[in-house]
Structure 1
Amino acid sequence: MTLQAVVIGTSAGGVQALSQVLPRLPADFPAPVLVVVHVPPRLSNSLVDLFAAKCRLPVKEAEDKEPLAPGTIYFAPPDYHVLVEASGTIALSSDEHVNHSRPAIDVLFESAADAFGPELVGIVMTGANSDGAQGLRAVCAAGGQGLVQIPATAEVATMPEAALSACPDARTMALERIVPALEAMIAR
């Protein structure tokens, strides 16, 4: 498998969960990492500053029409869906909320599955609704890999449980095992 991109979705408890994963990515990690965290629409994106200080990879807010760069972590801006176009560029959308959320995890995962197919990894972490479940199903249906935080270890298990119901082939794992799993996929 050639890993072309990683998409991550999380909600309630997500900052703590991401703090156990993103800083562990090595400085030479070759794929772009796109992250959706459900944040209130009027908040400025403090996640970028928070994670830029912790991570070895560059961290930025996703921008419309921006080509994806390898080894870069992109956070969805508040109140915008993030999509990946077939050309490997980012598209932002202010379309209707999906699962009561904008940005929505499903929107990112489904568009990334269309763009990257079997060369995509989708990761669903802690959260309080079912956003990400249909998106992870799309990732797996396109031949990509699905990883899900072990529900019992999630601050809120609803999102990982929904993802596993929608995509039973996804692998569950502890947060600290996610980066080694990604590195093993790259090494293959």
Structure 2
Amino acid sequence: MVFKIVVIGASLGGFAALKKILRNLPQNLKSPIAIAQHRHRESYNTLSEFLQKHTALQVREAEDKDEILPGYVYLAPADYHLLVESGYFALSTDEPISYARPSIDVLFESAADIYGEQVIGVILTGANEDGVQGLKAIKSRLGIAIVQEPTTAECSVMPKAAINAVAVDWILSPEEIAQKIVYLCN
């Protein structure tokens, strides 16, 4: 099975978890990664610059109509929802979902709609339940669901909510999540 995309959702504590995952991914990873990280609307390019220091993959903020390519980590821009279309991204300024824009649910649900069983969804640390509906959508279309082990999360609310609501495939530490992504995608 070739996975078309890995979608990752993170909120409070996400920087540390993302850093651990990204530094353990090879430059030749065959699947692109898209991340919805809750952040302040004024935090423009600081996240991509921060994460780029920790990975061999190319990190960039997604732009409307960007082609989805392997070897890249695409970040939802501050204050925009990131949606997956067939082969490219779309940006939206629709209302926040679960008080968040970018919304993890929006990213995950759009990826599930387009790529079905060829999606890996990963829920990391966070203080709300954004991502639960999106992870359900991925699982309902036979995609893979991975959740950060709550004891390794800075804030366990989001991972626990996902575990309680979705039949997840794996519950792993950030380092183990990276290993699993490499195993599944390469």
TM-score w.r.t. the length of structure 2 is 0.97
Equivalent pair of 2:33/2:74 in contact (CA under 8 Å): yes
Report the equivalent of 1:110.
109
For structure 1, list consecutive stretches of 5 or more residues without a partner in the other structure: none
Report the equivalent of 1:63.
63
Does structure 1 residue 142 correspond to structure 2 residue 128? no
Structure 2 CA distance for aligned equivalents of residues 13 and 109 of structure 1: 20
Structure 1 CA distance for aligned equivalents of residues 44 and 65 of structure 2: 21
Structure 2 CA distance for aligned equivalents of residues 151 and 170 of structure 1: 15
Equivalent pair of 1:21/1:178 in contact (CA under 8 Å): yes
Structure 2 CA distance for aligned equivalents of residues 131 and 7 of structure 1: 13
Report the equivalent of 2:45.
45
Structure 2 CA distance for aligned equivalents of residues 180 and 38 of structure 1: 24
Report the equivalent of 1:35.
35
Report percent identity of matched pairs. 43
Structure 2 CA distance for aligned equivalents of residues 53 and 151 of structure 1: 26
TM-score w.r.t. the length of structure 1 is 0.96
Report the equivalent of 1:171.
170
Q: What is the alpha-carbon root mean square deviation over aligned residues?
A: 1.0
Report the equivalent of 1:152.
151
Question: How many residues end up aligned between the 2 structures?
Answer: 186
- 1:75-95: per-residue Cα shift (whole Å, max 9, x none)? 11000000001x211000000
For structure 2, list consecutive stretches of 5 or more residues without a partner in the other structure: none
SS of structure 1 residue aligned to 2:175: helix
| 4+ residue segments displaced more than 6 Å | none
Structure 1 CA distance for aligned equivalents of residues 178 and 40 of structure 2: 28
Equivalent pair of 2:80/2:93 in contact (CA under 8 Å): yes
Equivalent pair of 2:147/2:168 in contact (CA under 8 Å): no
For 1:47, give the aligned amino acid: L
Equivalent pair of 1:88/1:115 in contact (CA under 8 Å): no
Query: What displacement does 1:52 show?
Result: 1.4
